[in-house]
Amino acid sequence: MRSAVSESSTPTDVPPSLVEARDVRVSLQGTEILHGVSLTARPGEVVSLMGGNGSGKSTFVRAIVGAVPTTAGSIDLFGSPASPLARARLGYVPQRITAAGGVSATALEVVTSGLLGSRERDGRVGSRLRGLVPPRDAKARARAALASMGVEDLAKRDVSRLSGGQQQRVLIARALVRRPHLLILDEPMAGVDLESQVQFSHTLGHLKEEGVGIVVVLHELGALTRHIDRAVVLEHGCVTYDGVPPKDLGVHALPGHDHDHPHADPPVRDGSSLGLEAP
């Protein structure tokens, strides 16, 4: 595709990237938060995005989903520049404290709202303000998505009265109901109990087998460890590591997670420079 320009041009047997972000810069209220962040994810690949609080993980995924504008760099989704239509095959789980608005809404209603917007149908992409699927099918799909997160029984419950972990699972279901080709999750395991984490890990494994690409913001690899192909570590809005996930270690085991001394190092691609072998 567009990789012909890069010097490490990709062999033809490597599938095209689902997301390819290059040197993305983002400024919020006059302050540059991301200073040129790059990341790619291919079909069936699970990339964990890690880094300390305030390192820019959420800002970066929000740039990918179009919630904040970029000031420089480029983001390609499914081989073409990011646009509302290109987001048809994207599923997003924002980082948040609550799934509730001012009016109560049932879990089913929240999940069904995932079926709106740009959607893919019969291989063609289009934008719909009303649901893509007829209401009856939409309900069935939403219920199936809730079931895949093990919260089918909460369908009729008011989301504002669910526990934090239950709300989180509803929000994951809202992304899954879109049947995305690329899933972007911002700390999806926050507040989710261990049993549900393991269950979600199975769901993730299935999605991966189906060729879904996954970018997941995590503080520790935890229950998802065995599915993660690559870890990208952010520090102060720069990538400081991009490579095999550090085995069984959370990001806090990485050197320099302490933000008192800013990192100016160029991205390192070698696990050994992290001193992981040192006892």
Ligand X SMILES: Nc1ncnc2c1ncn2[C@@H]1O[C@H](COP(=O)(O)OP(=O)(O)OP(=O)(O)O)[C@@H](O)[C@H]1O
Q: Pick from 52, 56, 114, 213 the residue near other proteins by CB under 8 A.
A: 114
Residue 105, classed as helix, strand or coil, is coil
Q: Which is nearer to Mg ion, 88 or 217 (CB)?
A: 217
Q: Which amino acid would we find at residue 41?
A: A
Sign for the CA dihedral angle at 181, 164, 227, 256 comes to positive
- Interaction mask 186-215, Mg ion, x per CB under 5 A: ------------------------------
Q: 258 to 277, contacts with other proteins by CB under 8 A?
A: none
CB of 52 to ligand X, least distance (A): 7
* Two tokens, residue 212: 């879904």
For residue 186, the minimal CB distance to Mg ion (Å) is: 6
From other proteins, ligand X, Mg ion, none, which one binds at residue 36 (CB under 5 to 8 Å depending on kind)? Answer: none
Q: What type of residue sits at position 227?
A: H
In 149-259, alpha helices (H):
164-176, 194-209
- Residue where the block lists tokens 């972990």: 165
CA angle 257, 219, 254 (to 5 degrees): 30
Helices (H), 78-124: 107-112
Shortest distance, CB of residue 97 to ligand X, whole angstroms? 11
Number of other residues whose CB lies within 10 A of the CB of residue 46: 23
Nearer to ligand X, 155 or 232 (CB): 232
Where in 15-74 is the site for Mg ion (CB under 5 A)?
58
Give 67 or 194: the residue with its C-beta nearer to other proteins: 67
Please give the Cα distance from 236 to 217 (Å, whole number). Answer: 15
CA dihedral for 7, 8, 13, 19, sign (positive or negative): negative
Amino acid 105 reads A
Among 2, 3, 32, 158, binds other proteins (CB under 8 A): 158
b/e map of 75-90 (b: 16 or more CB within 10 Å)? bbbbeeebeebbbbbb
Of the candidate residues 116, 144, 190, 268, the single one contacting other proteins (CB under 8 A):
116
Return residues touching ligand X (CB under 6 A): 28-29, 33, 51, 53-59, 95
> Which range of residues in 91-99, 116-124, 177-185, 198-206 is near Mg ion by CB under 5 A?
91-99
The residues with which 232 forms a beta bridge, in sequence order, are 49, 242
- Under the criterion CB under 8 A, does residue 29 sit at the interface with other proteins? yes
Give the start-end residues of each E strand in 84-190: 90-93, 117-121, 124-128, 182-186
Question: Considering only residues 3, 74, 95, 199, which one is a binding residue for Mg ion as defined by CB under 5 A?
Answer: 95
Comparing CB distances to ligand X, the nearer of 41 and 151 is 41
The one segment of 33-41, 99-107, 209-217, 236-244 that binds other proteins by CB under 8 A: 99-107
- Enumerate binding residues for Mg ion (CB under 5 A): 58, 95
- Enumerate binding residues for other proteins (CB under 8 A): 29, 62, 65-67, 83-88, 90, 92, 94, 99, 101-106, 109-110, 112-114, 116-118, 127, 129-131, 156-158, 161, 174, 178, 184
